[in-house]
Structure 1
Amino acid sequence: MVSTSSAVNWPPIDGIISDLDGVVYRGSTAIADAIEAFARWRKAGVPFCFVTNNSTHTPEDVVRKLTGFGLAIAPSQVVTSAITAAELIRTNYPELTKVYVIGAPSLVTAMREVGLEVTDRSPEVVVMGLDRDITHEKMRIAVEAILNGAVFIGTNPDLLLPTANGFEPGAGATIAAVAAATQVQPSIVGKPHVPMIETALSRLGTNRASTIMIGDQVPTDIQAGKKAGLATVLVTTGVPMRQDPSQMAPDFIVSSLRDIEVSAARAARPQQRRA
């Protein structure tokens, strides 16, 4: 683990993948240093893509939020777990077309946008995300479909989500319940797993050796980046860091995104996109 200081020699950085909540904003409040840093990197021509385990918002929702903070981006610069789940189905199971969804409207939209039929009648795939209107009947349908051979996919493994007054069950809690009932482990696309990172890399078109992953949580963001072969940067503006010897440590730790010398590192190399 390397703590940053003025003496740190940053590696060449041609692309950036970053978490959102805790890095760019905290809830409804922007982190000013982060907004300024991304605006500076955009001006310097450094491509970046945001990744989020949150399946309850669309890329357009994120665009509107960041625009309100003064950072204008395109929807293509946002990869959600919902979008990744839809792309995974299309890529890994091209012959399957009928999907049962437990989740927010944004998760349903992601499925339909890639041409999948969302139905509770003989579904071939069950996709689960955060559903604040979860019912026993929804879980029964999911369990029955999985027991009948449906592919089981989860958006993210988060068991708890922070709220203004404490915590609420996350998508991982209900996914775990269905997994326990069926004794079938789902394919999880969100961090700390790598599918979402791979989707972001494909959009950036940069070499993973010169692309960094920025996050505020070691168990999710940093693990996902390390598993994908990226240099990782932990920013201490979000969830307090917890030491866990079993987890891979970040390559760098910063207190502000201003500390990341992206422009200088990039200027030292020819500016070109790599496959």
Structure 2
Amino acid sequence: MASAGSNIPWPPIEGIISDLDGVIYRGSTAIADAVEAFTGWQKAGVPFCFATNNSTHTPEDVVRRLSGCGLSIAPSQVVTSAVTAAELVRTRYPHLTRIYVIGAPSLVTAMRDVGLEVTEQRPEAVVMGLDRAITHEKMRIAIEAILNGAVFIGTNPDLLLPMASGFEPGAGATIAAVTAATQVQPLIVGKPQVPMIETALSRLGTNRASTVMIGDQVPTDIQAGKRAGLVTVLVTTGVPTRQDPSLMAPDFIVSSLREIDVSAARAAQPRQRRA
């Protein structure tokens, strides 16, 4: 693990996958160094994609927010846990068509965008994300469907989400309740699992060995990157995390994204076939 300020050379960087909150912005405030770094990489032709566990925003929402920060990107450069969940249902369970959704409107939209029917009637899969309007009845429908054999998918395992006044329960909290009631483990698509990273890699078309995963959280971002076989960079601009020796450590630690050297990037050369 190379710490910020070390003289250890960076490996060739062909593409970048990055988290958003804590990396590009903190709450409503943009992180100037990060916006500057991504703008420079964009001008240098280094492809990048953002991967976020947040299922309550569409890629278009993220594009608008980043535009306000001074970074112009396309919706295809954003992979959310909602989009990943929808694509996973379509590819892994192509025979399923009826989906029951507990989550924000963006999660419903993601399902419909790939041709799935969102319904309470005999659902073949239950997809759960953050739902700030969660009710006992919604959970009852989900539990009954899962006990009847519906596939159980969760967007992300985050138990707590930071707020100005403290914390609120995340998607992982309600997913855990349904898991406890059904004794069925869900398929989680968000970090620290790899489905969302694989989706981002497919968007980039880069070789995973020379693709970097940037994040501010070791338990989610870094573990996902490590499991996917990427070079991992922890940036210390987000919420501090406790040291946990059971977790895989990042390859590099930086205090600013400007420390990442992409001079060896192969963006201008023909890309290797992704491993």
Aligned counterparts, 1:3-22, within 5 A: 3-5=3-5, 7-22=7-22
1:69-84 alignment to 2 at 5 Å? 69-84=69-84
Residue 3 of structure 1 deviates from its aligned partner by: 0.5
Q: What are the equivalent positions in structure 2 for 1:141-220 lying under 5 Å apart? A: 141-220=141-220
Instruction: Map 1:258-269 to 2 at 5 A.
Output: 258-262=258-262, 264-266=263-265
- Pair 1:230 & 2:236 matched: no
Q: CA deviation at 1:239?
A: 1.2
RMSD of aligned residue pairs (Cα, Å)? 1.0
Q: Distance in 1 between matches of 2:29 and 2:255?
A: 17
| Secondary structure at 2:214 match in 1 | strand
8 Å Cα contact 1:52/1:80 also seen in 2: yes
Q: Is 1:95 aligned with 2:95? A: yes
TM score, norm. by length of structure 1: 0.98
Residue ranges of structure 1 left out of the alignment (5+ in a row): none
Letter in 1 for 2:161: L
1:155-205 C-alpha deviation (Å, 9 max, x unpaired): 000000000000000000000000000000000000000000000000000
C-alpha distance in 2 between matches for 1:274 and 1:127:
35
Mapped partners of 2:159, 2:28: distance in 1:
22
Instruction: Give the deviation of 1:271 after TM superposition.
Output: 2.2
Opposite residue 212 of structure 1, the aligned amino acid is: V
Measured in 1, the distance between the counterparts of 2:156 and 2:223 equals 14
Contact 2:45 2:268 in 1 (8 A): no
Matches within 5 A, 1:235-250: 235-250=235-250
Q: How many residues align?
A: 273
Q: Deviations over 1:14-42 (max 9, x none)?
A: 10000000000001110000000000000
Matching residue of 1:274? 272
Match in the other structure for 1:104: 104
Identity of counterpart residues, as a percentage? Answer: 82
SS of the residue aligned with 2:225? helix
Question: What is the deviation of 1:242?
Answer: 1.8
SS of the equivalent of 2:239 reads: coil
Shift of residue 265, structure 1, vs aligned partner: 1.6
| Secondary structure of 2:265 counterpart | helix
TM-score by length of 2: 0.98
Residues 39-91 of structure 1: per-residue CA shift (max 9 Å, x gap):
00000000000000000000000000000111000000000000000000000
Deviation at 1:4, TM superposition (A): 2.7
* Contact 2:235 2:253 survives alignment (8 Å): yes
Aligned 8 A contact 1:14 1:271 in 2: no
CA distance in 1, matches of 2:107, 2:87: 12
Amino acid of the structure 2 residue aligned with 1:266? A
1:68-123 deviation digits (Å, cap 9, x = unpaired): 11100000000000000000000000000000000000000000000000000000
Kindly state the Cα deviation for residue 241 of structure 1 after the two structures are TM-superposed. 3.1
Secondary structure of residue in 2 paired with 1:265: coil
- Contact between 2:97 and 2:117, CA under 8 Å: does it hold in 1? yes
Equivalent runs, 1:25-44 vs 2, <5 Å = 25-44=25-44
Q: Is the 2:53–2:155 contact (alpha carbons within 8 Å) kept by the matching residues of 1?
A: yes
Q: Stretches of 4+ moved more than 6 A in 1? A: none
Identify the residue that residue 136 of structure 1 maps to in structure 2. 136
Matches of 1:181 and 1:16 in 2, distance apart? 39
Is 1:127 the equivalent of 2:121? no
Query: One-letter code of the match for 2:11?
Result: P
